[in-house]
Amino acid sequence: MSSRSSDSLSAGVRKKIVDVVGAGAYLDRAEDLRLYEYDGSVDKARPELVVFPRTTEEVAGIVRICAEHGVFMTGRGAGTGLSGGAIPREGGVLIGFARMNRILEIDLENERAVLQPGVVNLDITLAVDAQGYFYAPDPSSQRACTIGGNVAENSGGPHTLAYGVTTNHVLGLEFVMPDGTVHTTGGKELDSPGYDLTGLLTGSEGTMALVTKIIVRLMRKPERVKTILAVFNSPSDAADTVAEITACAITPVAVEMLDGEMLRMVEVATHAGYPLDAAAVLLIELEGLVEGVEDQAEQIRQVCERCGAREFRVAKTPEERELLWKGRKNAFGAVGRVSSSYYVQDGVVPRTQVAPTLRYIAEVAKRHDLQISNIFHAGDGNLHPIILFNSHVPGELDRAKAAGEDILNHCISVGGSITGEHGVGMEKNELMDRLFPADTLDYIARFKELFDPKQRLNPGKVLPTGRGCLEIRQPPFTRRTAV
> What are the pLDDT digits (tens) for 358-403?
999 999 999 999 999 999 999 999 999 999 999 999 999 999 999 9
Which pTM value belongs to this model? 0.93
> Which residues, other chains included, contact 237 with Cβ-Cβ below 8 Å and sequence gap of 6+?
280, 307, 308, 309
pLDDT higher than threshold 70 for residue 467: no
Query: How far is Cα 243 from Cα 259, in angstroms, rounded to an integer?
Result: 17
Helix (H, G, I), strand (E, B) or coil at 76: strand
Angle at 389 between CA 387 and CA 391, to 5 degrees: 135
Query: How far is Cα 392 from Cα 399, in angstroms, rounded to an integer?
Result: 13
Residue 191: its pLDDT value, please?
A: 83
Q: What's the mean pLDDT in 99-117?
A: 98
Q: What's the mean pLDDT in 192-211?
A: 96
Q: What's the mean pLDDT in 245-256?
A: 94
Structural domains of the chain sorted by starting position, each given as residue range(s) with its CATH number in brackets: 11-96 (3.30.43.10), 103-220 (3.30.465.10), 224-333 (3.30.70.2190), 339-423 (3.30.70.2740)
pLDDT higher than threshold 70 for residue 254: yes
Q: What's the mean pLDDT in 219-231?
A: 97
Paired with 106 in beta bridges are: 113
From 63-77, 249-263, 328-342, the region with the lowest mean pLDDT: 328-342
DSSP string, 298-326: HHHHHHHHHTT-SEEEE--SHHHHHHHHH
Helix (H, G, I), strand (E, B) or coil at 117: coil
Residue 8: its pLDDT value, please?
A: 56
pLDDT higher than threshold 70 for residue 2: no
From 1-5, 338-342, 374-378, 389-393, the region with the lowest mean pLDDT: 1-5
Residue 332: its pLDDT value, please?
A: 85
End-to-end CA distance of the chain: 40
Average pLDDT over all residues of the chain: 93
> What are the pLDDT digits (tens) for 74-83?
999 999 999 9
> What are the pLDDT digits (tens) for 274-319?
999 999 999 999 999 999 999 999 999 999 999 999 999 999 999 9
pLDDT higher than threshold 60 for residue 476: no
Q: Could you give the maximum distance between any two Cα atoms of the chain, in Å?
A: 71
pLDDT higher than threshold 80 for residue 1: no
Cα-trace Rg, the chain: 23
Helices 354-368 and 235-247 cross at an angle (nearest 10°) of: 160
Element spanning 32, H or E: helix 30-33
Confidence of residue 471 (pLDDT cuts 50, 70, 90): very low
Query: How far is Cα 407 from Cα 411, in angstroms, rounded to an integer?
Result: 6
- By CB atoms closer than 10 A (0-12, 13-18, 19+), residue 10 is exposed
From 64-73, 324-333, 347-356, 378-387, the region with the lowest mean pLDDT: 324-333
Q: What's the mean pLDDT in 191-220?
A: 96
Q: What's the mean pLDDT in 425-451?
A: 95
From 7-11, 96-100, 189-193, the region with the lowest mean pLDDT: 7-11
Residue 19: its pLDDT value, please?
A: 98
pLDDT higher than threshold 70 for residue 44: yes
- The beta-strand segments (E) located in 108-209 are 112-115, 133-134, 170-176, 182-186
Paired with 146 in beta bridges are: 120
pLDDT higher than threshold 80 for residue 158: yes
Q: What's the mean pLDDT in 203-209?
A: 98
Confidence of residue 333 (pLDDT cuts 50, 70, 90): confident
Structural contact between residues 51 and 93, judged by C-beta atoms closer than 8 angstroms: yes
pLDDT higher than threshold 60 for residue 22: yes
> What are the pLDDT digits (tens) for 114-139?
999 999 999 999 999 999 999 999 99
> Which residues, other chains included, contact 242 with Cβ-Cβ below 8 Å and sequence gap of 6+?
255, 257, 282, 351, 354, 378, 379
